[in-house]
Amino acid sequence: MSGAGLPVCATGMTCRCQHGGVGDGMVRDGLELLFVVAVGGMLWSAVRRLRAGQVSVHRCGACGRPTSRAYPRCTRCGAPL
């Protein structure tokens, strides 16, 4: 008669009730779905920022190739930016 007041596998860890762990899988699937949605949303917002030009690529005036503004000189040809 133990386990009468237990929650239905809310932890997804140790199931002491007797329904074959069906509730377990559902809880875990829900968490996985939430995780996938969160990561996907982060990636999508990053892609949108890139497309909006907020993370713009700096091009060297001498050789025209993309370089980084973190350096005072072009990383490709060495010309001053």
* Contact footprint for Zn ion (CB under 5 A): 60, 62-63, 74, 76-77, 79
**C-alpha distances in angstroms, 52 versus 3, 45, 56, 57?**
56, 10, 9, 12
Tell me the closest approach of the beta carbon of residue 56 to Zn ion, in angstroms. 17
CB 81 within 8 A of CB 61: yes
Cβ proximity to Zn ion, 48 vs 58, nearer residue: 58
Tell me the closest approach of the beta carbon of residue 51 to Zn ion, in angstroms. 25
Cβ proximity to Zn ion, 6 vs 63, nearer residue: 63
Distance CA 73, CA 2 (A): 73
Cβ proximity to Zn ion, 8 vs 77, nearer residue: 77
Tell me the closest approach of the beta carbon of residue 71 to Zn ion, in angstroms. 11
